[in-house]
Amino acid sequence: MSSRRPVVTGLGIITAAGCGVSAVWDALRTGRSGLGPLTLFASPRYGSHQVGQVRAEVDQLAGDARGSRSDKLAWIAAREAIRQSGLAAPLAGARADRAAVLLGTTVAGILGTETMLDRLLRKQRHSFIPARYHECASATDLCARRFGARGPTATFSTACSAGALAIATAAELIENDEADVALAGGADSLSRLTLNGFGSLLLLDAEGCRPFDAARAGISLGEGAAMLVLEADETARARGARILARLSGWGASCDATHPTAPDAQGGGAAAAMQQALERGGLTPLDIGYVSAHGTGTPDNDVMEARALRRVFGDAAPPFASVKRFFGHTLAASGAIQAVVCVQALREQAAPGNLGFEKMDPQIGLEPSRGFQSRRLQHVLSNSFGFGGNNVVLVFSNAGSDPVSAAVRRPRRPSAMPLAVLGAGLVSAGGHTMAGVRNALAQGGATPSWLELAAPFPLGRMRGYTCGDIGANEAIPAARRRRLGHLQQMALLAAKRSLPQGLPAWLAPDRVCAAIGTGLGCLGETAAFVENMLVNEERAPLAGRFANSVHNACASQLAIEFNLRGLNSTSTHREISFEAALWHGANELRQGRADMALAGAADELSPYAQAVGERWGWWDGNAPAIRPFGRELKGRRRPLPGEGAAVFTLVRDGQGPPPLARLRSVRFGRFAAPAGGPPEAQGEAAWIRETLERDGVALASADLLLTGASGWPPWDDACREVASVLSVLRGRELNCGAYKQACGEHYSASAFGFFVALGLVRGEIEPGLCLAGADTGARPPRTVLLYTLAPGGSHALCCVCA
Amino acid sequence: MQLPTDELKNKIIKALNLDKITPADIQDDQPLFGGGLGLDSLDALDLVSMLERDYGILIQDMESARQAFATYRTLEDFVQRNRR
């Protein structure tokens, strides 16, 4: 029996129905809904709606933790979970290196951003501080810093299934032996964007949601956070931790045919449930209770009932949605349900479906009505998101015997080489390998001026824009009219990586897509928010809202190529791409997918550029990027850019001769003094350990390709890492850079991966990446793509000829 | 009061970003959705937004708008009867 099986040792939760596991459980036991009036902000249109607003004093509870409301909710839940686990935070030493933090969020810090933009629009005094906490990664980094984690740290934004995806991903990392302990969950605050957004889709029930009821009319929006401490069975036992439950199964599928509507027949949802059961070595009969997604929208509940019937036949176990207790907490909902499920196993009792009165003949199933004692061995939890992103978790009693899973896992998955079959690019430096080579030969791409649109008075700036990306020829007008700029870039990159479309031998459910995006479709989001603020919530733009979700790119790929495997969107600053690549690679290595589309995309929208500048990430008035050039002094930051790159990967040995091989991909956190670059010795050791783990000799590396962008402390850090590695192996390791051809942006390392492919294929001379230096004509055979994020993350990919 | 010729059609084209479509392409008695224009439920919601912004018509749920959205002609009648 694998003792790497994940177990739960800590729970934390904060919701409208209470703060802390015992308060929330009390609300569930006594049938007390947390829905109530909206007082967090004024909403001219939806102010009278019932919402699941957290009533506790969030700022006070968060103590000295700084961040957005979502960040604070996340930390409050995380702190409770860590306390229960008995782990000492911050962790230290080897335990810290083996600790992961994975968080799902959708709304992130938008609530503060809205307030900031509102004041900006009214020409009132405002601070740009909320923008600093706007990003999805903000909550994750806060929790990781305070937990002291230095293992894999990533953020996922697959809309309403993100919290569940974070938990499932934590389980993968633990089973893979890439982490021993993981803090995983989800957090989302209420916001005007989501309230108006769901309003624009006519999906809000002003009176409060009634999941599965005949008269249901939509969701109630809620907010909250929930976190789990997950550990490998063996390490939890070794430290004498109390095991609360086992996470015995998880499954993910995609059924995107439409940006917001689910597959009416419930095929994708059923597939995810079946996968989760199979992973746990369970049959439908083993499940004693289902925590349903049950949002209360007419479509979701019919679909979910169909999916339940597909999996369980006419003998569906008792099921209930807790949405009437908490509201729909979006990315937090899957994690909140996970906490409810673990607590149900511990208490041998389960909550009922508040808000249900009358059976809908279209649904034909009646949910469990009241709180009831039950004999529970295994419980299942459903989470479904926009873009058909479905994730299902199965929890089992701590005392239950782990059934030998039907799914075999490779012994050292991270060491399994993968083949890169295709590469597609949209960038300021061109959209082909030849174009990128020429841009590098000219010392970089040419930045252009960007006009910042009214009504936000944010000035005029420069950046590396992609110009004509060729969307008019490649995407039919009927399709293009509904896509934002970011989605068009991502779709084009994907099409270029798969010029012939998907090979016929591939089954759609064996293809996964994992796309990174640091900021998501901020252009679309800003357009929605701008319309909302200017028109005082009249006439909200439904199409813009559907495009504003971070997973709008990955779900467009699923729609375009009919992909039915895992559909993941990672949103963790500069390492968004590497986390996505890891996710795609892991699906291949575990044998769940036969092809992975992995990539990243970020756009240079006026709003992102202006606000990003004020955070101090990039600078629209800087000179053109010259890596290692030492030209940026003081508060000057690199020029921003944009672009998308998507790669198609298979297991090595499958398909036609590959472009190159991926030998290693890893992401994590480094230790460094507040906000500064890491110290080179530790980084070099981390790189060497990663390569050793994955069976690559450090001696074989020819080039360290870095994200150096002319920002001295970070450029110096990259160069020092290369020189320490040189000493370690007793031979010079060259240090290169690529951002001069794509600009500073969160998806730049995907462009770097494209350059790495060109280098090992001999299509880009190594001298072109070395800021003037020339090291001879021999093409490198092994390139290390090394990425640092000022938030504290680092990542490494090893690309070989 | 009669709407100016093609005003509503032009507004539909603009609201839905129908690049290559001219008012003549929107035939009065053809189904608006699921037909030749390739419109779906998300487009219907963008039309709901346009009707609110440009004609002051507030639609609270799609069920009540289903008949109005059947064809261009039914939509035009609906706008003429309900505009404010």
> Per the domain annotation, does B1 fall within a domain?
no
Low-confidence ranges of chain A (pLDDT < 50): 1, 406
B45 to A261: CB separation less than 8 angstroms, yes or no: no
**What domain range is B38 assigned to?**
7-18+26-82
User: Which residues make beta-bridge pairs with A154?
Assistant: A102
pTM for the structure as a whole: 0.97
Query: Would you give the distance in Å from CA A633 to the centre of its chain?
Result: 34
Burial of A475 (0-12, 13-18, 19+ CB in 10 A): buried
Q: Give me the pLDDT at residue A26, please.
A: 98
Of A477, A538, A541, which is closest to B20 when you measure between CB atoms? A477
Burial of A675 (0-12, 13-18, 19+ CB in 10 A): exposed
Find which of A258, A541, A547 to mutate to test the B interface (most B CBs within 10 Å of its CB).
A541
Is A293 assigned a catalytic role? yes
Q: How many domains does chain B have?
A: 1
Q: What is the pLDDT of residues A118-154, one digit of tens each?
A: 888 888 888 888 888 999 999 999 999 999 999 999 9
CA A549 to chain B, closest CA, distance in angstroms equals 15
Torsion of CA A256, A262, A263, A268, to 10 degrees: 70
Whichever domain contains B34, its CATH number is 1.10.1200.10
**Closest chain A residue to the Cα of B45, Cα to Cα:** A542
Rg (CA), chain B: 12
Q: Give me the pLDDT at residue A171, please.
A: 97
Q: Does B55 touch chain A (CB under 8 A)?
A: no
At which residue do the structure tokens 């940006």 appear?
A: A259
Find which of B19, B41, B55, B66 to mutate to test the A interface (most A CBs within 10 Å of its CB).
B41
Q: What is the pLDDT of residues A544-596, one digit of tens each?
A: 999 999 999 999 999 999 999 999 999 999 999 999 999 999 999 999 999 99
Q: Give me the pLDDT at residue A86, please.
A: 97
**Closest chain A residue to the Cα of B14, Cα to Cα:** A481
Q: Does B16 touch chain A (CB under 8 A)?
A: yes
CA atoms within 13 A on the CB side of A733: 32
At which residue do the structure tokens 């399994």 appear?
A: A416
| Residue among A21, A142, A136 at smallest CA distance from A72 | A142
Q: What is the pLDDT of residues B29-78, one digit of tens each?
A: 999 998 778 898 899 999 999 999 999 999 988 888 889 999 999 999 99
Of B16, B45, B50, which is closest to A202 when you measure between CB atoms? B45
> Per the domain annotation, does B49 fall within a domain?
yes
Q: Does B77 touch chain A (CB under 8 A)?
A: no
Q: Give me the pLDDT at residue A455, please.
A: 63
| Residue among A468, A359, A398, A113 at smallest CA distance from A246 | A398
Instruction: Kindly give the residue spans of alpha helices, DSSP state H, lying in A250-332.
Output: 267-279, 298-312, 323-326
Q: How far apart are CA A728 and CA A701, in angstroms?
A: 12
Q: Which fold has domain A6-399?
A: Peroxisomal Thiolase; Chain A, domain 1 (3.40.47)
Q: Does B35 touch chain A (CB under 8 A)?
A: no
SS3 assignment, position A692? helix
Q: How far apart are CA A555 and CA A618, in angstroms?
A: 29
Q: What's the CATH architecture for A414-800?
A: 3-Layer(aba) Sandwich (3.40)
> Cβ distance A782 to A702 under 8 Å?
yes
- DSSP for A60-115 reads HHTTT--S-HHHHHHHHHHHHHHHHHT--SS--HHHHHTEEEEEE-SSTTHHHHHH
**Closest chain A residue to the Cα of B63, Cα to Cα:** A202
Q: Residue A94, Cβ neighbours under 10 Å: how many? A: 10
Q: Does B84 touch chain A (CB under 8 A)?
A: no
Q: How far apart are CA A53 and CA A45, in angstroms?
A: 17
> Per the domain annotation, does B32 fall within a domain?
yes
Q: Which of A19, A136, A160, A742 is catalytic?
A: A160
Residues of chain A with CATH 3.40.47.10: 6-399, 414-800
The predicted complex's ipTM stands at: 0.94
> Per the domain annotation, does B2 fall within a domain?
no
Torsion of CA A206, A207, A208, A212, to 10 degrees: -100
